[in-house]
A and B are shown apart, each in its own frame.
Chain A
């Protein structure tokens, strides 16, 4: 399980989660965005390589969302597998944020 961060020019950041997205990534995940404090930061959470996601991960995404909203930025979740999308859908996250399949 791992987490990769790509920072692009300007305000764009992509955080990619590989394998399991669960509580063990808590610290790493937070560190991936917490230092971004510029207004209007755009974060893409790349779930294309995420095989499993638990409710702690949902909580971590909510914390990220709070952080970004304070900076008037945007958050987009992209390419979740069917299994991961199912978890997001049960929590009705598609009503709280943008999810691109």
Chain B
């Protein structure tokens, strides 16, 4: 081996030939083209030099002692697969079809048949180097893109998935077809203890389809945290995606609220396969088919559809899936389909592992077939969620109410009078909570206040303004009926009002909030409620009247007056640092 000098910065060429004359001739031509050159006199040494020096170009003779050109080429190509394309050109005087074919077969990128003029040789080198440069450029760009994508994916995962609620209870499958999943799974806890869950499937997959994921996650979380209802969250998300995304990009989504204290589940299916409600034995109690176009398609939600309400039992499960599961294909081109999914899910419910069982069955079915679409599933238990009002009850009791009596003037008050159609459109509870938190900061005790406000407002709206009888709610079926009736009356609501006043009294070791809710209804037999015992065990199982009972437990004083059209609740709390 000898290193013939050339331009220091130039590319490195390896010439493998058993003829010293040939090595010399080729080297001179290469140096004229700006290459640095190393040489070897047989195939084996050529391979060794290749490994040692990593050249940018190899010129290879075919007939050589020790190891011939074909063998050396195969060896070199097997070593360079993962790296840059190092072009390899055979130089030969064997002008036969066989030698040409075998050259390419051995991994050669070109063949030059002697004799050739220096000009032809140089032209060949230029053309092959052009291809190799292009290849390196593509390779570099691809690596760069992969790196960027990995970083973005990591960030996205950090923002979205790690902030999900109750991942220990909620089973999730997430299997992306590309690095980025177009599917998104969100879970969040509402201030009243409701659990909101969203399974979304953006059009397509990969980076393009995940751009909407961050704003979606932010909106879903922020609104859930502030206590907005499922319908309000969906309305907002739809509008946001409609404005944000191009027309051909949208989100098929299933959105669910599990409400422990209503013993109901609220479901909105916009473009996902059926959402399933299973009982504890895996029997399908209900399938909720898509009833709305995907989110982001229309500027506003269709007005004639509404969230579906189903009554649930503690051991029921809700399962949401994306079409990637149903449309997963096996080698014969068959789809996994609904039947196989249902069988797997039922088996999963019985084995307490819906997500794992379904995923295993899909994988068994597809075998080695490449995954075409993102696959995802959410398995959500209906029971066992925390009751929001149980949290801070104990902390309330020892507070001395006496020192509040002199505090006649509130530090501030908030007042809102909603009338007519506005009642159907605006939920004042998150507005009020937002206001309170702006003024007084965050605190655990606001959870209870949120529940008190929600219950009193709902009570005023449903029974006062809408004149719905809570007797309707006495059976699980009636509960759903109640909601559809409520929906109907809300739509046609033109008269009526609800007036909410919130007064805040700071106390030495905590504070007091007085909530007054007055409605335009006929009132009800309030003395019965005013004398109702606190937390009667007998009432626990009833579906109706639970709201007011809940408020009684949460606040220190609840009084109805003006024929039951005015509710006044007083809520006390102690500051965190004073508790110990």
Contacts and interface: CB of A to CB of B under 8 A. Distances in A.
Interface of A: 23, 54-56, 58-60, 62-63, 66, 89-93, 95-96
B197 interface: no
Nearest to B373: A54
A55 B297 contact: no
Contact of B272 (A54, A90, A95, A96): A90
Given A59-B203, A90-B273, A91-B290, A96 B248 contact: no
B113 interface: no
Interface string B457-473: 00000000000000000
Contacts of B201: 55
A100 B290 CA distance: 20
Contact of A90 (B249, B290, B297): B290
Interface of B: 201, 203-204, 247-250, 252, 270-273, 289-294, 297-298, 302, 323, 327, 373
Contacts, number: 53
B182 to A, nearest CB: 9
Nearest to A91: B271
A59 B373 contact: no
Contacts of A59: 203-204, 247-250
Contact of A96 (B204, B273, B297): B297
A95 B249 CA distance: 18
Given A58-B250, A60-B248, A91-B290, 20 more contacts: A54-B327, A54-B373, A55-B252, A56-B204, A58-B294, A59-B203, A59-B247, A59-B248, A59-B250, A62-B247, A62-B250, A62-B297, A63-B248, A66-B247, A89-B290, A90-B271, A90-B272, A91-B252, A91-B271, A96-B298
Contacts of A55: 201, 203-204, 252, 323
Contacts of B250: 58-59, 62
A54 B290 CA distance: 16
Contacts of A66: 247
A89 to B, nearest CB: 7
List of 5 A-B pairs having minimum Cβ-Cβ separation, nearest first: A59-B248, A92-B293, A55-B203, A90-B290, A91-B271
8 contacts: A54-B327, A59-B203, A59-B204, A62-B297, A90-B272, A91-B271, A92-B292, A92-B293
A66 B273 CA distance: 26
A84 to B, nearest CB: 12
Contacts of A63: 247-248
Contacts of A23: 204
B580 to A, nearest CB: 55
A91 B298 CA distance: 12
- Please indicate which of the listed interface residues A23, A66, A91 has the most CB atoms of chain B within 10 Å of its own CB: A91
A63 B297 CA distance: 10
Contacts of B203: 55-56, 58-59
